Structures are given as C-alpha cells and as structure tokens.
Amino acid sequence: MKRFFLFSLILCLLATSLAFSMPMVARAESDVDITSKSACLVDYASGSMLYGHNPKEHLPIASMVKMMTILLTLDEFDKGSLTEETMITTSENASGMGGSQVFIDPYVEYSAGDLLKSVIMASANDASVALAEHISGSEKAFVNKMNQKAKELGMNDTYYVNCTGLPAPEQYSCAIDCAVVLKEIAEHELYHKYSTIWMDELVHPSGRKTELVNTNRLIRYYDGCDGGKTGSTNEAGCCLSASAVRNNMRLISVVIGAKNSQTRFNECTKLFNYGFANYESKKIVDSTLPALSLKVNKGKVDNADIYANEDYAVVVKKGDAHNYEVTYDSPNKISAPTREGDIVGKAIISKEGSVVKEIDLEVRANIDALSLKDCFDKVVENW
C-alpha cells in the first residue's frame, strides 16, 4: 500500500513538473482561438513571428495573390516607369476577366493611379491584368516576375500562376509569405494613399462610373488598421492579410481558409488584439540621440557627435527585456573637413550572436579644417 502511495505521489510530481515546463509559446497560442486553416501574427519592424498556426502550410490564397501584383506595380512607380497619371490602354483580355472587377472597357485609356486604386480597394481582376500587361507585355511574363520577386524575398513556400488569384491548381502560398509581401507593400506611401480609402468611384473614359468599396472592412472598423488584402474562392475559403499600427508598433496579421467572411475579420482582429495587448515596441537605436562622440583631427572643433541615420525598434513581450546588442564599427577619430551627412561608421545590431541589421552612422554638421591662422592661434593659446 505504501509503495502504491509513493508511486502515485511520484507520478503527480512528474505531471506537475511537466506542466510547468511547457513552452510559453504553446500557452500564448492557446490564448488566440483560431479556426482557420492557417494564420500568423508578425512584427513589421523585425519580421519576427509572434504567433503561428500552420504558418508555412501550402494553401490557395485567392485574391491575396494580388499583393504581389500590387508590389511589382509599386516597384515600377519607384523606378519612375509609372506615375499616377501614366495612361494605360486596356485589352479585351483584361476587360474580360471574371470574378471581382471594376468593369473596365477594352481599347481605352485608364490612368495607372486609377487602375492601382481599383486593385487595392476593390480587388479588381480586370485592373490587375491591365497593369500586368502594361508592365511586362503579357500576364504570363508578369507572373514570371512575380515568382522571381518571391525568390528574392525568401518566399520559399509560394508559387504564382496568375496575377489575380483566380483558381489554379498549381498556385499556392502560405501565411508567413503573405506577411512578407504585405510588409514590403506597407513601406510605400502610395499604397497607403489608396488602402485607407473606404469608398470612392472609378470614372470610366465614357463617363460611366463604378462605385469602389474597400473589401478590407477592418480599414473602417478596427482602430489603427491602414492596409490589407482580402481573398475568397471556394477552394481557398475566406482569407485576409492586414496591417495595423498602435503606440508606434505595426503588426501584420494573416488568416487563410476561414469558413466565412466574418470569421476572417474576427480572427485577424483577435490576432491584432493579442499582439497589442501582450507586446510592446522598444527602440534599440534612436536616431535623434548621439550614438558616439568622436575626436576630430585638424578640425575647428575638437569633438563631433555621430548619429544613426535611422531608428530601429523591436517588439518584445510587455515587461521583458530585449536580447539585442548594439555595437559600433567606426574609427576613434575623424579628420576635418567633413560635411553634414558624411558616413563615418555603422551601428551593428545583433541578436544571440547573429547580425540582424546594420545602420549607417553620420555626421550632422559641417566641420571645417583648421587654417594656418587657426593653428597659430591654437599654439599661442596652449602656450
């Protein structure tokens, strides 16, 4: 009897020990009730995944494919190949796209700005193909660029077949790759110009008008949401990638394969609420404060403050210390003359021994060299 009691006691102690040794990630995930096939929550600044539910599972993503179409179009704006006023002649092929569309007319001109707005707001298949054909000559050639860009971004679990997300058996992506694309898109001001509009209209060359309503309802109903992309087909279910900012922290949430439209919005909201409630942004590098003070050789000043030319912040659990380290690669002194904006070193940000970011260090004031008279005056002063 005593042996049985002792054995039972040992089993209880082991069970208690195992319960307390379970990883915190598992507990955190249980706090978010996700019914969709796949989901993730990502910190925009670092790209770190704060929550994942089958984040790399290969799945159809419906119109979220258009995020890559949007990104490649924004790249053309960055290169100067397109402006919002660039006129694009549509084809019969583009105007004949089914599914979600803005009913563009064939063989007429629309501005690149209006077509991009139609894709971002209304998920227009016809506008997507019109942009693809203009940029690459054909949708097929454009899709090749989409896959090439995916490789450049390290999206190893994505393969595109078209630029719209219309059903195609070979086409797939995953939640974490969708977050990567949205992160790239969110860096463009032009994207936010259109992604934050709730209702608008497209005026066709004939004078006909098509009403545009943003398919991402979180733009209107979730505080801080300023971008995203929906998707919905029978095979993909209901999908959503969204981005939101609060307290200087931007998060990206992705849901794939929700059972209905309301569920995708509810579950993206749950992910945002979990992230904003449990994590905070901590600035690792502050570009407004001097990073170093360096001696100046043969300059009219003896020392110069050196600044990082951009901020760097990370998201950590509230109350936790970050495990990032900042070191500086710079000379002990700089030689005059130097000019405002001159790069004189790097701030190196590391985590657990691995470099995650390098930021240039710059001079923020002109430093003139000593003249002969200055040198003489200095000798006299010191004497």
User: What is the rounded CA–CA span in Å between residue 196 and residue 187?
Assistant: 14
For residue 357, the number of C-alpha atoms closer than 13 Å in the C-beta half-sphere is 20
Q: Name the catalytic one among 37, 66, 229, 270.
A: 66
Q: Angle at the Cα of 229 (from 224 to 231), degrees rounded to 5?
A: 140
User: What is the rounded CA–CA span in Å between residue 237 and residue 218?
Assistant: 18
User: What is the rounded CA–CA span in Å between residue 124 and residue 216?
Assistant: 13
Using the 8-state DSSP alphabet, how is residue 64 labeled?
A: G
Whether the Cβ atoms of residue 160 and residue 143 lie closer than 8 Å to each other: yes
User: What is the rounded CA–CA span in Å between residue 345 and residue 309?
Assistant: 11
123 is annotated as an active-site residue: yes
CA distances from 29 to 34, 176, 229, 243, 278 (A): 9, 16, 24, 20, 12
Residue type, 26: A
CA distances from 172 to 155, 166, 221, 298 (A): 11, 11, 29, 61
Helix (H) or strand (E) holding 26: helix 24-30
Q: Name the catalytic one among 38, 91, 95, 123.
A: 123
User: What is the rounded CA–CA span in Å between residue 68 and residue 331?
Assistant: 42
Q: Name the catalytic one among 36, 63, 118, 128.
A: 63
Residues present in the chain in total: 383
Question: Measuring CA to CA, which residue among 298, 295, 307, 310 is closest to residue 365?
Answer: 307
Question: Measuring CA to CA, which residue among 208, 198, 261, 194 is closest to residue 233?
Answer: 261
Whether the Cβ atoms of residue 42 and residue 179 lie closer than 8 Å to each other: yes
81 is annotated as an active-site residue: no
Helix (H, G, I), strand (E, B) or coil at 134: helix
Question: Measuring CA to CA, which residue among 310, 312, 252, 247 is closest to residue 280?
Answer: 247
**CA dihedral for 70, 73, 75, 77, sign (positive or negative):** negative
Active-site positions? 63, 66, 123
